Amino acid sequence: MELQPFFFRREGSIVGLRVHPTDSSAADEVNQFALRPLKSEEFAVFTLDLCHNQIDRHFSRFPDEELETINRLVVGRPLMERHDLRGSLPRGTFFRSRLHRDDDRTSVRPDVYVLRTPDNASFILNIEGGVYRETSIGFAFQTPECSVCGRDLRTCDHVPGRTYGDVLCHSIMRNVLEVIEGSVVASGSQGTGFVAGGRSSSFPDALESARSLYHRPIELHTSRTWARE
């Protein structure tokens, strides 16, 4: 049985801002996405701590090599509000990204530019004022690897959050396929969620559903063709 990729959301935070970017490299990199040259006073730049390699409270984590993939794929992707891909247009564009290392923690820190338009004025003000400060990344990945046995979690019986011997079971998210968007959200602490079949569900619910589908019996039908001699 071919296992389908998961679409996933994971929280982060806004960690920096430059109200009027002064370095020419930022303007040059922003203007790679613009149809006309933008002046520095026409846009604001924010830095997001988008995702990291630590085990989160939902018992999932990125290995460092997947952060490198995300760091590469996030450039050019949109910044949205509340993962609203159907009801609204992007607020900004990620124009560059880097890996930030602090002891054992590695995180993806992209810069996003937001145009200073009347429609974006309150959005920018809420970020600058610290009201909007949590973010979330939407992405697709192929394999939730079990930290205990190394198999796809959908095919084993280990439960994320439980300890087996001295090993804490958690999902290692392997084979990132796509970065869909980054979003500013009201509260990233609501947690991560898998998105499948048009609806979002918690990690345990999504895992249980995937395991049930994987272990569902397969009905085989044969047919016989009679030929006249």
Each residue's pLDDT tens digit, 149-205: 999 998 999 999 999 999 999 999 999 999 999 988 765 433 433 344 444 455 666
Q: Quick one: which of 198, 171, 165, 200 has its CA closest to 185?
A: 200
Each residue's pLDDT tens digit, 93-129: 999 999 999 999 999 999 999 999 999 999 999 988 8
Residue ranges in the chain assigned as alpha helix (H): 24-30, 64-73, 121-128, 203-214
Each residue's pLDDT tens digit, 136-149: 888 889 999 999 99
